[in-house]
Amino acid sequence: MEFLRPASWEEALAAKAEHPDAAPIQGGTDVMVELNFDMRRPDVLLDLNRVTELGGWDTAEGRLRVGAGVTYTQIIDDLGGPLPGLAQAARTVGSPQIRNRGTVGGNLGAASPAGDGHPPLLAGDAVIEVESLRGVRMIPAPVFYTGVKRSALAPDELIRAFWMAPATGPQYFSKIGTRNAMVIAVCSFAVALHPAERRVGTGIGSAAPTPLRATAAEEFAAAELDWDGPLDETVAREFGRLVAEAAAPIDDVRGTAGYRRHALAVMARRTLTWAWQDHRAGSPGRGAA
């Protein structure tokens, strides 16, 4: 095995072009488990920790550009205001030690359907910036995920950042698990209100081969919600039903398909209700605290 430690983004891209099979490693919270348990033996490990650009964020064109190496702890501590849904999801990841190392870029690289970063990225219209020596591609989150642990990333490409507009309305993330820490989601759901566009964004986790949006539920919400009035209970229920219908869950050790569908309908109705209460109160949502 080779261990490469590029000191800059350009060097990292050159290394990935030369070794398309190289396994990038950031927090290592997925990669090292695979190495420790002999589940993966890449010829080359490509350590990105020295690429300092990846660990920061800035604002461009009115959107946040968050480096692939930004950890969950940083998101919670520093980006909870503009990205409340993602910060809520980050708080549910693993343990403090895992959040200190694990990154959203690594979550995208692993592209697990259970990754907690994905639902809020989907609900918030995130775009993933990937790059190779051939150039930059901007991939909208819904088409980034292509299958179970598969993404649109080409072998010579690396994830540079994700782009997301700062929240203009309340956002919520909800996750089902056996305890309040250290759980892989049985299923999860994120909602984001976009009041200026009178639109609701959604993201479903761990209930289909890929994370996905509940498009029919979003369209229903856009058509039926009265943005100047209280939330109609029947609209909230139908929204939940449509979210559950969008999922394609399976039975596995963590839960049955039927349970997942039921839980999704409940989470979708509840998170929409919470978000609507904040919207009516004119507050940006609990995640901003």
Partner 1 sequence: MRVSFTVNGSRETVDGVWEGESLLYVLRERMGLPGSKNACEQGECGSCTVYLDGTPVCACLVAAGQAEGRQVRTVEGLADGDGLAPIQEAFIEAGAVQCGFCTPGLLVQAHDLIERSPHPSDAEIREALAGNLCRCTGYEKILDAVRLAAARKAAP
Ligand X SMILES: Cc1cc2nc3c(=O)[nH]c(=O)nc-3n(C[C@H](O)[C@H](O)[C@H](O)COP(=O)(O)OP(=O)(O)OC[C@H]3O[C@@H](n4cnc5c(N)ncnc54)[C@H](O)[C@@H]3O)c2cc1C
Q: Please identify, using beta-carbon distances, which residue of 97 and 178 lies nearer to partner 1.
A: 97
DSSP label at 32?
H
| 106 binds ligand X per the rule CB under 6 A | yes
- Residue whose C-alpha is closest to residue 34's, from 141, 121, 90, 112: 112
Q: At residue 158, what are phi and psi to the nearest 5 degrees? A: -125, 155
How many residues belong to the site for partner 1 (CB under 8 A)?
29
As measured in angstroms, the least distance from the Cβ of 115 to ligand X is 4
**Binding window for ligand X (CB under 6 A); candidates: 18-26, 132-140, 241-249, 267-275:** 18-26
Task: Pick the piece of the chain touching partner 1 (CB under 8 A) from 6-14, 88-96, 198-206, 231-239.
Answer: 88-96
Q: How far is the CB of 288 from ligand X (least distance, A)?
A: 22
**Which of 31, 76, 217, 221 is close enough to bind ligand X by CB under 6 A?**
31
Q: Where are the beta strands (DSSP E) in 115-243?
A: 127-132, 135-140, 145-147, 150-151, 158-164, 171-176, 187-194, 199-205
Residue 180 interacts with partner 1 (CB under 8 A): yes or no: yes
Question: Does the footprint of partner 1 cover residue 56 (CB under 8 A)?
Answer: no
CA gap 196, 91 in Å, rounded: 28
State yes or no: residue 29 binds ligand X (CB under 6 A). Answer: yes
The token duo for 246 is: 């969008």
Surface-to-core class of residue 277, CB atoms within 10 Å of its CB (0-12 exposed, 13-18 middle, 19+ buried):
middle
Segment lying near partner 1 (by CB under 8 A), choices 145-153, 175-183, 215-223, 264-272: 175-183
CA 97 to each of CA 30, 112, 189, 207: distance values in angstroms, whole numbers, following the listed order: 13, 20, 24, 27
Residues interacting with ligand X, by CB under 6 A?
23-31, 33, 48, 68, 92-94, 98, 101-103, 105-107, 109-110, 115-116, 158-159, 182
